[in-house]
Each structure stands twice: as C-alpha cells, then as structure tokens.
Amino acid sequence: MNKHRVYETNSSYWDTKGNDFLRAIVLPFYGAFVTEEKCQLFGDVSGKKMLEIGCGDGQSLQYQGERKAAELWGMDISENQIEKAKQHLTTCGLSAKLICSPMEEECDLPVDYFDFVYSIYAIGWTTDLEGTFCRIASYLKKDGIFIFSWSHPIHKCVVNENNRLAFNKSYFDESWYSVAPIFVKAS
Ligand SMILES: C[S@@+](CC[C@H](N)C(=O)[O-])C[C@H]1O[C@@H](n2cnc3c(N)ncnc32)[C@H](O)[C@@H]1O
C-alpha cells in the first residue's frame, strides 16, 4: 500500500477518534499494568528536554511538564490531536512546541538535542520502524535516552472463551489481522 495512503487513513482515524477514551496509554501509565511510578524509567526529568512521538492530546506531555521538564516538544500525525494538545497544555499553564507530521518523515525537529525521546502507544503505527528509530536516534543528544511502550504481540493470539483465555492463533503468524471496534459509552 502507498505510504501516503496509509498516513491519510491513520491520521483520519485519530482525527476522528482521538485517544480521550484510552486511559492506560497516557503517562504515568505505559500500558495496562505498568506505571512510571513503579518502573522509574525516566526518573527525575527536571531541567530535561523532552520530545514525545505521537503525543496525542498532550496528557503525557502534561505529566512531564508537571515534573518540571525544561522543554516539552510533541509531534503527531493528526491535526486534531495536535490542536487538542495545544488547548490542553495551555489550560494547564504549560508551553510546548507541537509539530504535525508522520513520525516517519523529516519534520524540522532539532537533531542532537533531546535528553529524552519517548512514545507511549504510538510507535507501532509507523510504516517504517527502522527509519523511524534512525530519526529518533538523530534527535537525541549523546547519551540521550529513548523510551517507548507498545502492546505485546501475544495479545492478538489470545481470546476470551467462556471466561477462559485460549490461544486462537500462532504467536509467530505475522499476517494481517482485524481488531474488533471499541465502543465507548458516553458519560
Ligand atoms: C494512543 S495515542 C498516544 C497518546 C499519547 N501517549 C498521550 O499521552 O496522549 C497514539 C497517537 O499516535 C499518533 N500517530 C499514529 N500514527 C502516527 C505516525 N505515523 N506519526 C506520528 N504520530 C502518529 C496518533 O495520531 C495518536 O495521537
């Protein structure tokens, strides 16, 4: 599939859905059961320059800002997400530089600059993992740190059958698979 077609599909999904309903993919959560409080992967970020890849609506940037990071930068493929992040961070009294771009592409981010580049549940959307990792390496200053989280591939192999977890697919099968839509009840 043409990569620009994938970017369009991807950004229009996030433009429409957003991530407001997904609580466990926002720092301090790295995912369902893993938190920064417990793992201390970042530790003390005061005075540090931070870049989030796939920053969504800015809640993880808020977390870093409240922990006194010196600079907050975020990038995301979805214009709506960037707009929401802008509004959210302004409401929180935080300033951030936000860029709308696919993570796969060159987008005027400074190189050799950041203490931390991180991504919470966004990196798996890339169409070019190696290229994206190379770009991320270029944004980091010497001895800078890259932290990311993504769901474990075993999730796609397990189904709930009569309240028991059953394997319905080989862990080594990398073919396309579909995901059931998530329905969220408005509160
Ligand atoms: C689950 S959300 C991340 C939420 C974020 N951790 C937060 O704190 O709000 C995933 C984000 O990745 C972004 N994304 C998906 N594909 C992308 C790409 N190729 N390049 C940049 N961002 C992308 C989506 O627009 C979405 O906002």
At 86-99, the pLDDT tens digits run 999 999 999 999 99
Does ligand 1 have an atom closer than 6 angstroms to the CB of 85? no
Same-domain check for residues 135 and 166: no
Average pLDDT over residues 67-87: 97
Q: Which residue has the higher pLDDT, 179 or 97?
A: 97
110 within 8 A of 86, measured Cβ to Cβ: no
Mean pLDDT of the chain: 91
Q: Whose CA is nearest to atom 16 of ligand 1?
A: 125
List the domain range (segments joined by +) for residue 65: 44-150
| CATH number for the domain harbouring residue 137 | 3.40.50.150
- Cα of 9 from ligand 1 centre, angstroms: 13
Same-domain check for residues 140 and 175: no
- Cα of 7 from ligand 1 centre, angstroms: 12
Same-domain check for residues 87 and 158: no
Residue 14 in any domain: the answer is no
At 15-66, the pLDDT tens digits run 887 666 666 789 999 988 899 999 999 999 999 999 999 999 999 999 999 9
Domain count, the chain: 2
Residue 25 in any domain: the answer is no
Ligand 1, atom nearest to 13 Cα:
25
Write b or e for each residue in 104-116: b if 16 or more Cβ atoms lie within 10 A of its Cβ, otherwise e.
beeeebeeebbbb
